[in-house]
Structure 1
Amino acid sequence: MDARDVYRTLFDAIAESVERTVGGLSADQLNARPFDEANSISWLVWHLTRVQDDHLADAFDHRQVWPQRWSAELALGLPEGDTGYGHSSEQVAQVQVTSADLLIGYHRDVHQQTLVDLESLTADSLDEVIDERWDPPVTRGVRLASVVGDCYQHLGQAGYVRGLLPHL
């Protein structure tokens, strides 16, 4: 198994978890917040997908999926480049989706682009510095690992909120 296989396995598991976490939920359930300052499933899954889309587009030097279709489709009223990082409670509340299919659709498209990205991955390209703004500078491999970790963190949170739904 090489790095491509490892990352493909990780991102496939993320995509499966997204579908399992949001599948079958109503808009009200997706947008429910356990309390006023908490994140909804909608926000958590939108955010993890935006981060994957944004960061991998940068890491592999291509256009993001979001502005090509999903910004208009989800119509959240947020700036096109917004990924949710640092959102206030009011901004979290603004992320309201009308169906699980929309979140799943956006994530599927990002996942498909991720699989294309991974095809070009080599051992040397993992070590390539792609972001000099950090100390130490960030390599493509580190960025991929960061995105995977972020996705799993937010999926865990979304799963927890889904478990709370009967009590909200």
Structure 2
Amino acid sequence: MDTTALLADAFERVREAVHEAVEGLSEDELAARPEEGANTVAWLVWHLARVQDDHLADAAGREQVWTSEGWAGRFGLPFPDTATGYGHSAGDVAAVRAPASDLLGYADAVHARTLDYVRTLDAGDLDRVVDEGWDPPVTLGVRLVSVLADDLQHAGQAAYVRGLLERRG
């Protein structure tokens, strides 16, 4: 398997997990918390898509889907367009409300843009430094693995929250 196929497969698994966590839930269910202060399915999916969008856009030297395709305006969240969810409070988590169609629409748009980018890469590209702010500096390969790990963790958390909510009825 080549680099492109490996990365595309990994990001496809994120997409599948996101759809499984979100499909069929109402906006209220997506915004429900299993207990006070917990993350919601809506926030978890929005956050993982925002991080993927932010990090991949930076690595590719392009504008984020969030702003370039009007998703920031559609969601109308009370955060700067640059917000990705890092450092969000319980109140910020509660502010992320959206129908499944918008959450999945944004996540799918990010996924499509991600695949467009990773399909241009070869193994040599993965050694390119994309962030000098760390010691050691972060390469593209490390950044992609980091995004995938974060996305899969949050997609799994969203599925877990969904399961808790479904058990509660």
**When the two structures are superposed, what TM-score results if normalisation uses the length of structure 1?**
0.97
Corresponding residue number in structure 2 for 1:101: 101
Q: How does 1:26-45 map to 2 (within 5 A)?
A: 26-45=26-45
Q: How does 1:69-80 map to 2 (within 5 A)?
A: 69-80=70-81
Counterpart residue identity of residue 82, structure 1: A
Q: Which runs of 5+ in 1 are unaligned?
A: none
The reply on whether 1:134 has 2:134 as its aligned counterpart is yes
- Alpha-carbon distance in 1 for matches of 2:149, 2:119: 20
Q: CA deviation at 1:142?
A: 0.3
Q: CA deviation at 1:18?
A: 1.0
- Alpha-carbon distance in 1 for matches of 2:136, 2:4: 24
Corresponding residue number in structure 1 for 2:161: 161
Indicate if the aligned counterparts of 2:17 and 2:156 stay in contact, CA closer than 8 A: no
Q: Structure 1 segments of 4 or more deviating over 6 A? A: none
SS where residue 143 of structure 2 aligns? helix
SS where residue 84 of structure 2 aligns? coil
Q: CA deviation at 1:149?
A: 0.1
Corresponding residue number in structure 2 for 1:86: 87
SS where residue 101 of structure 2 aligns? helix
Aligned-CA RMSD value: 0.9
Corresponding residue number in structure 1 for 2:67: 67
Indicate if the aligned counterparts of 2:22 and 2:100 stay in contact, CA closer than 8 A: yes
Q: Which runs of 5+ in 2 are unaligned?
A: none
State how many pairs are aligned: 167
Identity of aligned residues (%): 51
Q: CA deviation at 1:37?
A: 1.3
SS where residue 130 of structure 2 aligns? strand
The reply on whether 1:53 has 2:53 as its aligned counterpart is yes
- Alpha-carbon distance in 2 for matches of 1:123, 1:16: 25
**When the two structures are superposed, what TM-score results if normalisation uses the length of structure 2?**
0.96
Corresponding residue number in structure 2 for 1:119: 119
Q: CA deviation at 1:144?
A: 0.2
- Alpha-carbon distance in 2 for matches of 1:142, 1:56: 12
SS where residue 130 of structure 1 aligns? strand
